[in-house]
């Protein structure tokens, strides 16, 4: 059984997981296509139009295939609904390293759509959106 808890990244385990995630991204993402740093995650924000952005989501490999990612995503969706956020959006990559994530997002109703915020569409990325209302 898993528990999902909100964390402000003061927890060493959370910071280590983000560092692990960023190291893996450097192996899977073209140069110049990583738009995330640890400091970006320390200050969650809502986009000017009220959209909530899923900035980063990662399941540790030891938990992969055991439902942890599903529980995390469902927790995020539920939190968005409770906070009356009209839409969740995310940017993800393409290729084998992102197939499981893409499948999870689409399973829970995220649809491909246009770039948002300051992102630009490239051959590598996908933009997914979920209306919560």
pLDDT at 100 over 80: yes
Helix, strand, or coil (residue 111):
strand
pLDDT at 79 over 90: yes
Averaged pLDDT, 97-119: 91
Averaged pLDDT, 85-111: 90
Q: Apex CA 128: angle with CA 32 and CA 58, to 5°?
A: 65
Residue 123 or 28, more confident: 123
pLDDT reported for residue 23: 72
Closest CA to 7 of 62, 56, 61: 56
Averaged pLDDT, 43-61: 79
Mean pLDDT over each residue of the chain, to the nearest integer: 82
Instruction: Please give the model's pTM, rounded to 2 decimal places.
Output: 0.80
Averaged pLDDT, 34-52: 70
């Amino acid at each position: 059984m898993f528990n999902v808890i909100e964390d402000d990244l003061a927890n060493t385990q959370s910071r280590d997981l983000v560092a692990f995630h960023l190291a893996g991204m450097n192996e899977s993402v073209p140069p110049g296509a990583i738009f995330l740093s640890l400091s970006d995650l320390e200050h969650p924000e809502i986009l000017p139009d009220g959209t909530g952005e899923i900035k980063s989501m990662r399941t540790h490999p030891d938990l992969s295939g055991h439902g942890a990612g599903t529980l995390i995503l469902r927790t995020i969706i539920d939190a968005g609904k409770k906070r009356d956020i009209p839409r969740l959006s995310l940017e993800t990559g393409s290729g084998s390293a992102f197939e499981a994530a893409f499948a999870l997002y689409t399973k829970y109703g995220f649809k491909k759509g246009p770039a948002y915020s300051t992102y630009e569409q490239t051959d590598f990325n996908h933009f997914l959106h979920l209306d919560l209302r």
